[in-house]
Structure 1
Amino acid sequence: MSMASAQTGSATGYATQNGGTTGGEGGQTVRASTGTQIHQALCERPSTSTPIIIEVEGTINHGNTSKVSGAGCDTADDVIELKNISNVTLVGTGGGAVFDQLGIHVRGSSNIIIQNVTVQNVKKSGSPTSNGGDAIGMESDVRNVWVDHVTLRASGGESDGYDGLFDLKNNTQYVTLSHSILRDSGRGGLVGSSESDRSNGYVTYHHNLFENIDSRAPLLRGGVGHMYNNHYLEIQKSGINSRAGASAKVENNYFEDSKDVLGTFYTNERGSWEVGGNVFDNVTWSSEGDKNYPAGPDPRSNTSVSIPYSYELDDAGCVPDVLAQIAGAGKGNRVSDGDCEAQTPDPTDPTDPDPTDPDPTDPDPTDPPGGTNLSIGAGADGSSKASGTSYGNVIDGDMSSYWSPSGSTGRVSVKWGSDATVSAINIREASGAEGNIGSYRVVNHDTGAVLATGSGAGTITFAPTSLRKINFEITGSNGTPRIAEFETYAGS
């Protein structure tokens, strides 16, 4: 995939406030392929505030990153130092920019944009070390930073030498992290270094993937955070940790296969949250106790957070698929248009079938089941979808439209706003794709219970089960699966 050749788009979220964030807009554009060249570009400016756009290509590491002196900079060896400066854009270009075991440190600076770069495996202990173990760290009176389309990753937790991927402390404000990937780390990031460091905040996190993170996604102390349209996957211990008087607005996020994704954890100094539009997909919650105050299992708002900027919300059900296309470095800086709508049932629709209607027809169990197809008017989601296909295509009664997973296996689900009793499903493959579905599982999504297993499409029956969401999981295939209709029936 071709990379963006320069900064694209405009700042979003809290980075648009306090005068806005434009980075090096209007300044000279300089190319750099080493850390030393990045420092040289900063240092050769007439002043510390002269706007500059630094386009970075290649691998930046300890071997090519040295301190440089000059009027426009304050740098150090073995770390990219954006220190006591302003009006700078650092953007990956060409074949990509990877900061390997080397962190980006923003200190005492303002109006900074970091876009389309990967920062990986930055250590605070072991060898080599950089930036206190943070991939991107900000501290000391930092203002207006937009970090966009970056990929931040570690290879373990603190015991392996890593710290946070995205840390803000000591009076850092008006920051946005957007369209990015944070993964494989013990710590996502914090806002405020201790319970007394409450001078940070006004941070927006939107359209980011947090994957395989133990905790701090983020840890928010004292400030205001706005988290929308993020995908949280495999959060192992705790996710959004609002504490020490912080308030978080948490809306239209997709939380999946995770634990304790929102609450106040590891302290009795509580924070608060406003929630709405989120999807909790296989999220487990601990019990409330000393220093442990999970928002679930039924998260409710306990504050109201006013947001000063405008923004468009994608439906939470869309978020995993949207982010798979746009989040992280090397994705062409693509963004969501904010109008993705998940398929949801309309409870006021008079055409919705009555699941209590008996239907005495057709006792042959190998034929499609009799009765009303409960999928019409229901909702649908899934694990992934191939380009040009939609989850909603399996509940539209149209055999010419279909859903395919993005690979050879995947899940598609039918869901209702209230309990439905289902005892049979009929999986109908699209024309030309007959026989492509191999092994499958039918799962009660609410409980995780496996209702049926087997292979091939067609009618599948099981004991009548009351549920709100039923999963058809393709675990093996003989070609690209194409499901035209996922019909559900109450049985007679």
Structure 2
Amino acid sequence: MKRSVALRLCAALATAAVVGTTGALVSVPEASAAAGTATGYASQNGGTTGGAGGETVRATTGTAIHEALCGRAASDTPITIEVEGTINHGNTSKVSGDSCNTADDVIELKQISNVTIVGVGNGAVFDQLGIHIREASNIIIQNVTVRNVKKSGSPTSNGGDAIGMESDVRNVWADHLTLEASGGESEGFDGLFDMKNNTQYVTLSYSILRNSGRGGLVGSSESDTSNGYITYDHNLYENIDSRTPLLRGGTAHIYNNHYVSLHESGINSRAGARAKVDNNYFQDSKDVLGTFYTDQAGYWQVSGNIFDNVSWSEPGEENNPAGPDPQSNTTVDVPYSYDLDEADCVPSVVNRTAGANTGLQVSDGSC
């Protein structure tokens, strides 16, 4: 099921184009920079194809991204938006139209479907500007960096989430991303990859999440258990306090990830959540798996993981670490096929493949 290592971003568009004043370039429909096929739970529920088959537009500003969404015939007309350059508050404004519902100071994918956003050329950086997915379906975000999104201080965007999904979201594939902050909540940052209020069939693959207090959550509270069917594979979580991820209800498949320097807790399965945790490499971290900060238990199935210099706290009323000898307390069947890398190969595989601007490389099954 692995995507070919040979898949790459298209280097250029072999067609005439017209450059607009807001930084958008329109090309013929068949030219598309998105590569690979959605994997994991994003491949279920009809699959995730994004803007495949639609027009391709080049954008160098946030306003141009919004204009591309608003310029479609309908809110479900497929479109691929190739992004290059730095997207920030200064170049991202609300655009109005019948096929969009955008806002200032955030990339707004709201009440729409069939969209791909992919970084091309010298790369795409969303600087202090979050991507908000709401009441949307069939979305691909690939090969972009999102950094330093704040919920307090200045400037603020997307509630402090690098990528946030909420309210009846279906089928999102987030692939080869670099999501990073410069601190935790006290410095004004929130989550890097959050899902709330009935978000389902999501895959986060080959991405880097680092330097944040919070990696990400599934469910905004113990009562928000309508989310689930999430796959996390071949990601690097580095220098994170907690939430890698925090699961409140739902089902997650977590495999072949490299975890380094998790300071407080890691995979936090609670409120009935069920996590299948396969062939991950946990390194120099604390409490990497269990139920933490609540008495509402979650569950896990573990296989093939490596725990390298991992410390475990003592169990308590609201603290149930899975270690020091993690054992399965549930079973989770996933409906798709997948190939596992050996856990001892995970650091090298993730090091050469994860994150934006790596040529969309994926594991070839070797160290």
> What TM-score, normalized to structure 1?
0.68
**Equivalences for 1:42-61 in 2 at 5 Å?**
42-61=69-88
- Give, as a single letter, the amino acid of the residue that structure 1 aligns with 2:107: I
Q: 1:53 & 1:302 partners in 2: Cα distance?
A: 43
- How much does 1:70 deviate? 1.0
Q: Does 1:99 align with 2:126?
A: yes
Q: Does 1:131 align with 2:187?
A: no
Which structure has the larger Rg over C-alpha atoms?
1
**Unmatched 5+ residue regions in structure 2?**
1-7, 11-32
**Equivalences for 1:67-216 in 2 at 5 Å?**
67-216=94-243
1:226 is matched with which residue? 253
- How much does 1:72 deviate? 1.4
- How much does 1:4 deviate? 2.0
Q: 1:333 & 1:137 partners in 2: Cα distance?
A: 23
**Unmatched 5+ residue regions in structure 1?**
342-492
Q: 2:99 & 2:126 partners in 1: Cα distance?
A: 22
- How much does 1:163 deviate? 0.3
2:14 is matched with which residue? none
**Aligned-pair RMSD on alpha carbons?**
1.0
Per-residue CA deviation, residues 379-400 of structure 1 (Å, 9 max, x unaligned), is: xxxxxxxxxxxxxxxxxxxxxx
Q: 2:197 & 2:73 partners in 1: Cα distance?
A: 28
Q: 1:314 & 1:173 partners in 2: Cα distance?
A: 26
Q: Does 1:340 align with 2:366?
A: yes
Q: 2:98 & 2:360 partners in 1: Cα distance?
A: 32
- How much does 1:301 deviate? 0.2
- How much does 1:71 deviate? 1.9
Q: 1:4 & 1:79 partners in 2: Cα distance?
A: 25
**Equivalences for 1:58-457 in 2 at 5 Å?**
58-337=85-364, 339-340=365-366
Q: 1:47 & 1:74 partners in 2: Cα distance?
A: 12
Per-residue CA deviation, residues 159-188 of structure 1 (Å, 9 max, x unaligned), is: 000000000000000000000000000000
Secondary structure of 2:126's aligned partner: strand
Q: 1:71 & 1:25 partners in 2: Cα distance?
A: 21
> What TM-score, normalized to structure 2?
0.92
Secondary structure of 1:286's aligned partner: coil
- Which one of 9, 18, 31 corresponds to residue 4 of structure 1? 9
Q: Which has the higher contact order (CA 8 A, sep 6+)?
A: 2
Moved over 6 A (4+): none
Q: 2:263 & 2:60 partners in 1: Cα distance?
A: 37
Q: 1:320 & 1:28 partners in 2: Cα distance?
A: 38
- How much does 1:340 deviate? 2.9
Q: 2:341 & 2:92 partners in 1: Cα distance?
A: 40
Per-residue CA deviation, residues 261-297 of structure 1 (Å, 9 max, x unaligned), is: 0000000000000000000000000000120000000
Secondary structure of 1:334's aligned partner: coil
Q: 2:213 & 2:261 partners in 1: Cα distance?
A: 12
